[in-house]
Amino acid sequence: MEKIVMIGTGYVGLVSGAGLADFGNEVICVDVDKEKINKLNNNILPIYEPGLLDVVKRNVAQKRLSFTTDIVAALRQARVIFLAVPTPSAANGEVDLSFVFTVVDKLAEVIADYKIIVTKSTVAVGTGDQICERLLNRGVSRELFDIVSNPEFLREGSAVNDFVRPDRVILGTSSAKALEIMKGIYRSLYLIETPIVATDIRTAEMIKYACNAFLATKISFINEIANLCEKVGANVLVVAKAMGLDGRISPKFLHAGPGFGGSCFPKDTLALTKIAEKAGSRVAIVETVIKVNEKQKMRVVEKLLNFIPNLKGRTIGLLGLAFKPNTDDVRDAPALTVISEIVKRGGQIKAYDPAAMGEMRKHFPEITYVASSEDAAKNADAVIILTEWNEFRNMNLDYLKSVMKQPVMIDARNIYEPELVLEKGFKYACIGRKVG
């Protein structure tokens, strides 16, 4: 058992802290947000993540997991300190490391015995070296710390399972001592033969960006193919299925839609272009991926305008606000672009999402939020499916048509068969498939 401090109780920090406690370690989760810590101490989660509350409750009851705002006391107690603080995009697109360095400076004030500093947040390549230099410049002896890069690969909506059954664990460090301690922390994963990739810090930092950029590339690629399929009369679903059957390609992330969003892909692809720019080695493919993704979000609005050229005074029902199902995360979600464009054109919006309406209110408090997909459709001139929540897959189309002003459906997630929707009397558009 290792005593661990997890700095940050956001998505990565909370899931990782609870997961490490479930592995038998003693974990103290720290955050400066007193309200968030109070909620966690009362078994109220600040994020929506299926299965996470059970893990938190179990480990709190076993006294392996605790929450506090006292960062100094926590830092003094533990040998291993995970940094899971926000690393947002700066105004120029680079990674903002200010939260990381704030914690490092605090650690420099209190470090008196050996510590391992682990970057769990997604940080720019070279951050580990900057942390080391910062500590040395503040008078901390090199013998008192080691740096490890341990990037996360959690998918929102399935993060608990991803943490306890990962495809691999990346451990980047130059210290044999730190590597062995980190392997001990993840010892439970040896039972399921999880590969441990041990490498240097910079390579570990690059692995995260390379993985996310590649997955984002697959999404933008299939979206471009989908747009071409519409022009030539092909079916992108069959194209993607056939591609996915090729073992070299795999079917994952070959789902045409309104573009990618969330906390990782938009931020990390942009950051990678800035890292490459600084290094004098452009990543032209990734630059194009970003442009394609922004255009794809607008494709949804263009499809709506094909049916309703003038949106002024029209009511549009939005089904789904989160960037993907099983999460309340709306960061860079396609819904943000769609809402903004509809409102700009004078349209009115009634929106429904099973989990993300509270988060979207922070961005668009002026639009109407309703309690169900049926409510979103009532008196609407069109409905747009933006998130593939399961409850949207089998809606009563007859009822929806009966309560709408106009039976127009934009299925941006391809969850319905065009023939079925057309038979019900709808005007219908989807992504990458021939309609009618």
How far apart (Å, rounded) are the C-alpha atoms in residues 304 and 165? 41
The C-alpha torsion from 403 through 409 and 413 to 414, rounded to 10°, is: 110
- In sequence order, the β-bridge partners of residue 319 are 352, 385
From the candidates 29, 229, 264, 430, which is the catalytic residue?
Answer: 264
Sign of the dihedral through C-alpha 234, 387, 321, 215: negative
The tokens of 421 are what?
Answer: 């929707």
Tell me which residue of 410, 413, 406 sits closest to 421, measured CA to CA.
410
E strand or H helix at 229, and its extent?
helix 201-232
How far apart (Å, rounded) are the C-alpha atoms in residues 383 and 404? 9
E strand or H helix at 305, and its extent?
helix 284-307
User: Catalytic site residue 29?
Assistant: no
- In sequence order, the β-bridge partners of residue 410 are 384, 429
How far apart (Å, rounded) are the C-alpha atoms in residues 64 and 178? 22
Amino acid found at 394: N
E strand or H helix at 358, and its extent?
helix 357-361
184, 2 Cβ separation under 8 angstroms = yes
Q: For tokens 């499916």, what's the residue?
A: 385
48, 355 Cβ separation under 8 angstroms = yes
Q: For tokens 């890069």, what's the residue?
A: 149
Q: For tokens 């990543």, what's the residue?
A: 283
The C-alpha torsion from 127 through 286 and 359 to 363, rounded to 10°, is: 110
Within 317-416, residue ranges assigned H as helices are 334-344, 357-361, 373-377, 397-403
Q: What are phi and psi of 196, to 5 degrees?
A: -105, 120
Q: For tokens 């605090």, what's the residue?
A: 106
16, 6 Cβ separation under 8 angstroms = yes
The tokens of 88 are what?
Answer: 């947002």
Active-site residue list:
264
